[in-house]
Structures are given as structure tokens and as C-alpha cells.
Chain A
């Protein structure tokens, strides 16, 4: 089955600086990669996603890159703000087996 690894597990960034979270996946058949943000005690919320036919996608301060050959994808947050503090999860989805596999999460703390 699919295995998704995520690094780092914790990340502290000065407000205004950029944050980068990286994930690797094992199943080359995975073709959809969402990122979720989860605040303490709240539900995971989709913040951005990318499909395997696209190398990069950007939405305001958030961008995701995908390298299918290397089987890794990354989340980039620029001009970080205190409200960006949360746990971020990457995930990989395979349309074939219809299963979404999550990484172990990154706890991002923005230091004011």
C-alpha cells in the first residue's frame, strides 16, 4: 500500500518568513495530493491540492509543488502570519484503489 512520509514534524518560523513542508510517497499510481490544515480540536480543512498532471499550483500565500519522478511534493507558505499556526497534513490519493493516505503531520508555529 501507499506510504507517505512528512518532514519536519515540527517547524517554528518567525512571522513574515516562509515555511516549507515536504512529503514523499511510495506508490507511483497516486495521482492527487491534497494538503489539510488542522487547528487544535478542529476538523482537517483542505487548503490546497494538486493533481499529477500539474507541477505547481499557487493560491495567494500558499503554493504546492509536485515532482512525480522523485515522488515528492511540498507545501510553501510565504509571509507567514500567526493564524497559520496549526498542524498541516499532506496526503496522497490513488484513483485506482480510492484510498487517501495521510502523512504524520507537521506542527507549524509562527513566532510573532
Chain B
């Protein structure tokens, strides 16, 4: 079946602008995660949804970052007043949580460049 998809694949914006990044998880996966990956680093946790609610948003760096998942499927990561330091690859992952295994499947990422 289809894997996790993310759009756009690349986004170039100017400092101060607003951007939205979209994630389509694997059908049936209840858990959805957002990560940020800077060059040469591992993915860094941002926020986690279980269904429609944000179960843990402790990784969001500040209040310019916000994410929603209104119907428990597609999620949107929103960044206001973008800064050059926000430039990174934003990865989305989804999983079908069980008590015995937590395999997260990643999307291809959105490469965000803030000029």
C-alpha cells in the first residue's frame, strides 16, 4: 500500500513568512509524529498525535510552531514568522501502535529553506 507522503517536497520562503507543511500518514495508522532534521543530525522530535489530539508537543521549539490533525489522519505543521534557523528537513512518521511494537514509518520529508 501507499506509504507516508509529504507535500511539498521542497519549500523556499522568505524570512517572516508563514508556511504549512502537510503529512498524509499510512491509512489506519493512529499515531503521527513530526520531526525536524538538520544537516548531519538525527531526526529531532517535535510533536506526536494519537488520533486527533496532540499527545505530546514538548519538542516544538517555540510558539511560532503549531500542528493540527483535525480528522485523525492528515496533519499540517504550521510555522509562523519563519526564521533562517527554521531551515531543515521536516519529517513526518506514522505508526499503528500496539503494545508490543512501535515501528514508525517515515515520509520523504519537506526541505524547508528560509532565505
Contact = CB atoms under 8 A, between A and B. Distances in A.
B55 interface: yes
Interface string A91-105: 101010111111111
| Chain A at the B interface: SS class | strand
A105 B102 contact: no
Contacts of A49: 101, 103
Q: How many interface residues does chain A have, given as a range?
A: 20 to 34
B62 interface: no
Interface stretch (A11-19, A40-48, A60-68): A40-48
Interface in A48-71: 49, 51
Among the interface residues B31, B107, B109, which one has the most CB atoms of the partner chain A within 10 A? B109
B40 A99 contact: no
Given A34-B103, A51-B100, A100-B33, A89 B43 contact: yes
A46 B102 CA distance: 11
6 contacts: A49-B103, A91-B42, A99-B48, A101-B45, A103-B42, A104-B41
Contacts of A104: 40-42
A105 B99 CA distance: 27
Contacts of A43: 4, 91, 106-109
Contact of B42 (A45, A93, A95, A105): A105
Contact of A32 (B4, B56, B102, B109): B102
